[in-house]
């Protein structure tokens, strides 16, 4: 009888829950080390990331090549597809020299197209996400033009070393993420998560724990349930802490691309690149707050990142995102 009840909830109740959530939503995201809840703005290392995504609930049973590799969602899973565009930017501390200091971060920019498949399992309280990334490193990313424009708008000195940015290269990556709820109740979650990155952009692994305090968000009834309440007129609130450990073998935005012979990876005398020694292991703490009402969701995350290069201090990056739902 218990098994029969579970099947009825799974096949009849879940679609009703999913229908109350937005069938699709658009998300705007801005990351910048000048956005800082600790009131200590920075402008070096990972200095800016701008991203826009559109997510849409996938019809049950509908699959394609991307959703089959490298995992196959269970029958009770709720799958969401996404398409996105992102620009990322790295810069040194000293931006005045026309020839960058080799004992500093390199100038680097990337422009990325992203296709994602997110699968939530409300029965097992777990989720899986796959991101297929294709993009370009170097001048075609327009990172130089973006930073120069931003500095002019806010009245900061213009960065002069962009002619020595990491050279043009191809960025191809497959990123996978798995999250599992360990314990909790209707207001809290304690979860474990792991991510694997593989490709010419980044290769490494990441492990994290997640502590969430939430009201009005279910989190495993589809990707939209992480941003919106299933009750249209209810205000949803989230606060979370996420400590993580990262091991990275290669990051093209720090080390250079793999294909271009003028990349510092392939040429020790390349004019771009840095002489700093990399920390392969880094740690990070993400503190997040989200507020959602009707079809709008606004979140802020403060990221505290340990040094990526030896001899540097920790780095603080703020993340602000706005999601607009389509019910």
12-21, 30-39, 51-60, 310-319: segment of lowest average pLDDT? 12-21
Is residue 2 a part of any domain in this protein?
Answer: no
Is residue 4 a part of any domain in this protein?
Answer: no
Q: Decide if pLDDT at 13 tops 70.
A: no
Query: Residue 57: how many CA atoms within 13 Å on its side-chain side?
Result: 22
Per DSSP, the three-state class of 250 is: strand
Instruction: Report pLDDT digits (tens) over 101-116.
Output: 999 999 999 999 999 9
Higher-pLDDT residue of 40 and 120 is 120
Question: What's the CATH code of the domain at 199?
Answer: 2.40.128.140
CB–CB of 120/77 below 8 Å? Answer: yes
pLDDT-derived band at 297 (thresholds 50, 70, 90) equals: very high
> What pLDDT is stored for residue 64 in this prediction?
60
Q: Decide if pLDDT at 72 tops 70.
A: no
- Rg of the Cα trace of the chain? 21
Q: Is 184 exposed, middle or buried (0-12, 13-18, 19+ CB in 10 A)?
A: middle
Is residue 14 a part of any domain in this protein?
Answer: no
Is residue 10 a part of any domain in this protein?
Answer: no
Number of domains in the chain: 1
Distances (CA, A) of 113 to 29, 131, 133, 141: 15, 10, 6, 11
3-class SS letters over 8-55: HHHHHHHHHHHHHCCCEEEEEEEEECCCCCCCCCCCCEEEEEEEEEEE
Is residue 69 a part of any domain in this protein?
Answer: yes
Is residue 310 a part of any domain in this protein?
Answer: yes
Is residue 12 a part of any domain in this protein?
Answer: no
Residue 121 structure tokens: 């399992």
Domain that holds residue 289: 22-326
* DSSP structure string for 70-129: S----TT-EEEEEEEEEEEEEE-S--S-SS--TTSPPPEEEEEEEEEEEEEETTTTEEEE
Q: Which of 91, 202, 85, 201 is nearest to 144 (CA)?
A: 91
Q: Is the pTM higher than 0.85? A: yes
Task: Please list the residues that pair with 131 across neighbouring strands.
Answer: 116, 175
């Amino acid at each position: 009888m218990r098994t029969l009840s579970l099947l009825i909830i799974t096949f009849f109740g879940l679609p009703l829950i999913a229908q109350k959530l937005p069938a699709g939503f658009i998300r705007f995201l801005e990351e910048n080390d000048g956005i800082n809840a600790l009131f200590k703005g920075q402008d070096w290392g990972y200095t800016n990331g701008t991203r826009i995504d559109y997510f849409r609930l996938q019809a049950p049973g509908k699959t394609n090549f991307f959703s089959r590799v490298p995992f196959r969602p269970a029958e009770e899973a709720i799958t969401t597809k996404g398409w996105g565009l992102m620009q990322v930017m790295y810069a040194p501390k000293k931006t005045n020299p026309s020839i960058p200091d080799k004992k500093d971060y390199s100038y680097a920019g990337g422009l990325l197209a992203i296709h994602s498949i997110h699968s939530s399992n409300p029965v097992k309280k777990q989720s899986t996400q796959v991101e297929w990334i294709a993009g370009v490193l170097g001048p075609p990313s327009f990172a130089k033009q973006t930073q120069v424009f931003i500095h002019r708008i806010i009245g900061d000195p213009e960065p002069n070393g962009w002619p020595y940015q990491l050279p043009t290269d191809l960025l191809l990556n497959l990123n996978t993420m798995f999250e599992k709820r360990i314990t909790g109740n209707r207001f809290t979650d304690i979860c474990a998560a792991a991510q694997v990155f593989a490709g010419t952009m980044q290769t490494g692994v990441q492990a994290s724990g997640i502590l969430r305090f939430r009201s009005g968000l279910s989190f495993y009834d589809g990707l939209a349930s992480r941003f919106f309440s299933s009750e249209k007129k209810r205000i949803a609130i989230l606060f979370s802490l996420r400590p993580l450990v990262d091991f990275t073998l290669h990051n093209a935005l720090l080390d250079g691309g793999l294909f271009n012979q003028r990349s510092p990876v392939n040429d020790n005398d390349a004019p771009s690149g840095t002489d700093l020694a990399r920390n392969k292991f880094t740690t990070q703490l993400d503190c997040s707050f989200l507020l959602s009402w009707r079809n709008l969701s606004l979140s802020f995350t403060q990221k505290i990142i340990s040094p990526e290069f030896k001899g540097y201090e920790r780095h603080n990056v703020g993340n602000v995102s706005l999601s607009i739902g389509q019910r």
